[in-house]
Amino acid sequence: MQTRDKIKIKNSFDSILRADYLSLDKLTELDNLSEYYLDFFNSISSILQKQDNYVSGRRGTGKTSALLKGYYECLKSIKNNSEYLDNKILPIYIDLGNCGDIFDKDNFELFEIHFVRQIIDSLRRQLESI
């Protein structure tokens, strides 16, 4: 096996192990996730439906992977490359794990301001990556 192939395999396994470490700004990482993601339970179609969703599960069961796959399908829909979507959708992905300032107990009245700031930042990054 050639070194280049070994590096591709290692990178794939690294991204499988921790999808929450993938960068939303690096479309190649999202493309790798999309290539190896197996949707046994039709989770992606469920996530991409127009109704509200609630995703829950034990740690390590693929919640973040499914959400990132759905996010990437929305990005692909903008260029009409999605396998799931006919309409163009601009996704907003906010990792609440990185938003500690939103939940500051002393400044809860600023919640809306912080949340809107996260939405704007997410949109800015996503528009730059397109």
Between 94 and 104, name the one with better pLDDT: 94
Angle at the Cα of 58 from the Cα atoms of 112 and 116, rounded to 5 degrees: 10
Residue 68: its pLDDT value, please? 92
Please state whether the predicted TM-score (pTM) of the whole model is above 0.75.
yes
Question: How far is 9 from 6, CA to CA, in rounded Å?
Answer: 5
CA neighbours within 13 Å on the CB side: how many for 80? 0
- Residue 74 has what pLDDT? 92
- Say which amino acid occupies 33: L
Alpha-carbon dihedral of residues 48, 51, 52, 53, nearest 10 degrees? -50
Q: What is the pLDDT of residues 17-37, one digit of tens each?
A: 677 777 777 888 888 888 888
